[in-house]
Amino acid sequence: MVDIYVMGKHYAVPEGLTILTALEYCGYRIIRGCGCRAGFCGACATIYNFKNDPVLRYDLACQKTVEQDMYLTQIPFFPAVKAQYDLEQIKAAGEQILALYPDIVKCFGCNTCTKTCPQELEVMWYMSDALRGDIREVALKSFDCVMCGLCAARCPQGLVPYNVAILCRRLYGRYLAPVSDHLEQRIADIESGKCNSDVEKLKKADENELRRLYSERDIEPAY
Ligand code: FES
């Protein structure tokens, strides 16, 4: 068993549990603060430290396993600056980033955002790319962002890197990314009914078969 502390209260939980399952083992019913349970949705952002070790650590509760003397707290939702825009009405020009998020000039390079990111992204570097108006670099460097919000929670200047990043990924995807010929071809195949028999086979497959097919699928590189 492992000793953990949830909001100051001691619990002994089995070794190997994730923080999320450990909370449930302790009797918490998680109806907010979790979603996919697979490290993708970013809903389970968690801050913790250890007994007699005040340094804060950051992780996704569905991925991180409990450790001895962990002190845990989950971050509740808090509002963050999010620019309103219509992607069809804005241009993929570098100055667009600053027009929608003028506060990014306040970044003083403390790098807290990078240290906070559970995805180990170079958040401060993509924020400096954003300042230079380099949409492509921001989009590529933030590709694995799960929008958990920890970077914004810890930014001493109140900046919201994850919203800046998704603006750039949207602009990049809509206007700048090279057109994918095989995607066009696949859409045409779907619309012509060419995939119907394969879809029917998938619908009849059991879980093991679906897992096997999923793990053996071809994955296109992100860029
Ligand atoms: S529950 Fe979705 S990332 Fe943890």
Domain spans, the chain: 2-74, 95-176, 190-215
* C-alpha of residue 88 to centroid of ligand 1, in Å: 30
* C-alpha of residue 58 to centroid of ligand 1, in Å: 13
DSSP assignment of 179-212 equals P-HHHHHHHHHHHHTTTHHHHHHHHH--HHHHHH
pLDDT band at 183 (very low <50, low <70, confident <90, very high): confident
Q: Per-residue pLDDT tens for 5-30?
A: 998 899 999 999 999 999 999 999 88
The average pLDDT across 132-153 equals: 94
pLDDT: is 40 or 75 the higher one?
Answer: 40
User: Hey, whose CA ends up nearest to atom 3 of ligand 1?
Assistant: 39
* C-alpha of residue 43 to centroid of ligand 1, in Å: 5
Terminal-to-terminal C-alpha distance of the chain:
43
Contact 196, 129 (CB under 8 A): no
- Give pLDDT, residue 222: 60
| pLDDT averaged over every residue in the chain | 92
- Give pLDDT, residue 76: 67
Ligand 1 atom having least distance to the Cα of 62: 4
* C-alpha of residue 120 to centroid of ligand 1, in Å: 16
Structure tokens belonging to residue 62: 């569905």
Ligand 1 atom having least distance to the Cα of 40: 3
Identify which of 150, 92, 159, 158 has the alpha carbon closest to the alpha carbon of residue 128: 159
Q: Residue 223: pLDDT above 60?
A: no
pLDDT: is 171 or 183 the higher one?
Answer: 171
Q: Per-residue pLDDT tens for 147-167?
A: 988 899 889 999 999 999 999
Q: Residue 35: pLDDT above 90?
A: no
Cβ neighbours of residue 100 under 8 Å, at least 6 residues apart?
A: 83, 85, 90, 167
State percent of the chain over pLDDT 70.
97
Q: Between 3.40.30.10, 1.10.1840.10, 3.10.20.740, 1.10.1060.10, what CATH number should domain 95-176 receive? A: 1.10.1060.10
Q: Between 3.10.20.30, 2.40.30.10, 3.40.50.1390, 3.20.20.140, what CATH number should domain 2-74 receive? A: 3.10.20.30
Q: Residue 95: pLDDT above 90?
A: yes
- Between the alpha carbon of residue 183 and those of residues 115, 127, 213, the distances in Å are 36, 31, 20
* C-alpha of residue 175 to centroid of ligand 1, in Å: 30
- Give pLDDT, residue 77: 67
- Give pLDDT, residue 42: 87
* C-alpha of residue 141 to centroid of ligand 1, in Å: 21
Q: Residue 53: pLDDT above 70?
A: yes
Strands 70-74 vs 45-50: parallel, antiparallel or unpaired: antiparallel
| pTM for this entry | 0.74
pLDDT band at 55 (very low <50, low <70, confident <90, very high): confident
Pocket test for ligand 1, best of 24, 40, 147, 150 (most atoms within 8 A of CB): 40
Pocket test for ligand 1, best of 23, 60, 150 (most atoms within 8 A of CB): 60
- Give pLDDT, residue 30: 86
Contact 22, 4 (CB under 8 A): yes
Residues flanking ligand 1, CB < 6 Å: 34-37, 39-44, 60, 62, 146
* C-alpha of residue 61 to centroid of ligand 1, in Å: 7
Q: Residue 221: pLDDT above 80?
A: no
Ligand 1 atom having least distance to the Cα of 36: 2
Distance in angstroms (rounded) separating the CA atoms of residues 193 and 180: 20
Distance in angstroms (rounded) separating the CA atoms of residues 22 and 71: 12
pLDDT: is 126 or 149 the higher one?
Answer: 126
